[in-house]
Amino acid sequence: MKRIAYVLLLSILGPGVVAQDSLRYWADKLDKYIGSSVEDYFFLNDFWTMTSRTYHKIMIGQFNMIVAGNEMKFDATEPQRNLFSFTKGDIMMEYAGTWGMATRGHCLLWHNQLPGWITAGLTDGVDNGLYSRDTLLAILENHITTLVTHWKGKVREWDVVNEVFDGDGTLRESIWQQVIGDDYIDSAFVWAHRADPDALLFLLDYGAEGLNSKSHGIYAKVQELLGKGIPIHGVGMQCHLTTNDINFYSIESNVKRLTDLGLLVCFTEVDIKIPADEFSTDVALQRQAREYGQLLSIFLNCEQCPSFVMWAFSDNDSWIPDHTAGTYGQACIYNLKYQPKPAYYALLDTLRAHNGVNVGLNTAASNPFSIVPTLVDDHFIVTSETGSPEFTTAVITDMAGRQIVKLKEITAGEPVYVSALGKGTYVLTVTDRNDNHYLMKFLKK
């Protein structure tokens, strides 16, 4: 029945739905995956409304990878013990197979969106003794094995464990950790690998894109897993980011240290939100576009980064407004009406450029040559090889991405005093009057 629906969709959209100048087209040429999560109404197979047709035309035409936002999580797939529901996941798999798209499986284990029969094991967030270690291990093994076996050969990348770290880099005290112990993570990867040896298995988290306490904890954990021979293939960086507050150098450094371990790194839930007081302003949209472009550049410059997936491609479907009580939004590359924003064109141009197409990219660079910082005693001087542009702001962050100082109205060639700056390595980001961003690393001796 679903196959008939997809044939109908093909007749509606036409055979040329994947254009030869799309995100998907250029990503395919680079053997990279660019994708999006899919929304609840995706699973209704409603192809008749204009909005639905537009949605599917964008999904199929622009992306070569999809992931279910909620429909493959624990509560959706095993609402009652040993009673499994695969319907919506099967719909997505058939859709992906029909349109030649890869899939991510999200997610096998999480502390949220658990069915009531699991959360009954906690009282006020604390283990109440309902489940023994052996019982919960058996439940978890059965769940992981059943899901991965059912979709064996259809899921390219599985998020095996999701958000298992707290902000300080320690393991989160979930029901899994409290009842089973820290080794539940080891077991989850082993069971997933046994069920589908060809699937790529990831540890996924948020707020750990750059170098900080959480990412240090993750780095130590994956080193431990690798040392024990646990079958982990990569780390997923969710990348729920905020415009004008992204330390790209720190992200790039974190990607490098993980890939140096031989791991893959995927950007799995990308969105870059804008503060409500800047909604729809040209400055904010252009800044967001540059930041999307720079994040994609980090991804494309890394051979061990296979997948770049956005958490919804349209502002109409974004989770951000509800999650932030409307204080942030407009985080996606298409607007509420499914029209492309500057961020879309930034991604397109970045992909074109990496395919050798001559495009005029205006994105920040991690190692620019036009701006050179010099730090002497209690001040530094920004000099330019191309004249003396004025900068509206300069932000100094440490290597963990924490803001140390924010300055205003600095001018190239003039000293900027930062006597409170301690010894160490820092990242300086300057923004000129045209809202161009320049990043550089420097050492305070």
Q: What is the pLDDT of residues 12-33, one digit of tens each?
A: 565 566 778 999 999 999 999 9
323 φ, ψ to 5°? -70, -30
Task: Output the pLDDT for position 365.
Answer: 37
Q: Region 58-80: what's the mean pLDDT?
A: 97
pLDDT value at 137 more than 50: yes
Share of the chain above pLDDT 90, in %: 71
Q: Region 72-77: what's the mean pLDDT?
A: 98
Contact 249, 439 (CB under 8 A): yes
Q: Region 290-303: what's the mean pLDDT?
A: 95
Catalytic residue among 78, 163, 209, 252: 163
Q: Region 155-175: what's the mean pLDDT?
A: 97
Task: Output the pLDDT for position 441.
Answer: 63
269 counts as catalytic: yes
Task: Output the pLDDT for position 364.
Answer: 39
Tens of pLDDT, residue by residue over 410-443, are 676 677 777 677 777 677 777 766 666 666 666 6
Pairwise CA distance, residues 270 & 421, whole Å = 33
Contact 375, 423 (CB under 8 A): no
Task: Output the pLDDT for position 1.
Answer: 46
Domain borders along the chain are 2-354, 371-444
pLDDT value at 341 more than 90: yes
33 φ, ψ to 5°? -110, 130
Catalytic residue among 39, 78, 157, 269: 269
224 counts as catalytic: no
pLDDT value at 185 more than 70: yes
Pick the range with the lowest mean pLDDT from 149-153, 170-174, 236-240, 356-360. Answer: 356-360
* Encoded tokens for 65: 């990878």
How distant, in Å, are the alpha carbons of 22, 283, 288, 387, 416 from that of 368? 28, 22, 19, 15, 20
Topology of domain 2-354, CATH: TIM Barrel (3.20.20)
Tens of pLDDT, residue by residue over 249-274, are 999 999 999 999 999 999 999 999 99
Written as one letter, the residue type at 27 is: A
Written as one letter, the residue type at 87 is: T
How distant, in Å, are the alpha carbons of 63, 64, 120, 154 from that of 27? 9, 8, 45, 20
Does the structural domain 371-444 have CATH classification 3.20.10.10? no
How distant, in Å, are the alpha carbons of 161, 184, 424, 436 from that of 171? 12, 11, 29, 39
Contact 164, 171 (CB under 8 A): yes
Q: Which 3 state secondary structure label does DSSP give 144?
A: helix
Pairwise CA distance, residues 89 & 67, whole Å = 9
Q: Region 185-196: what's the mean pLDDT?
A: 98
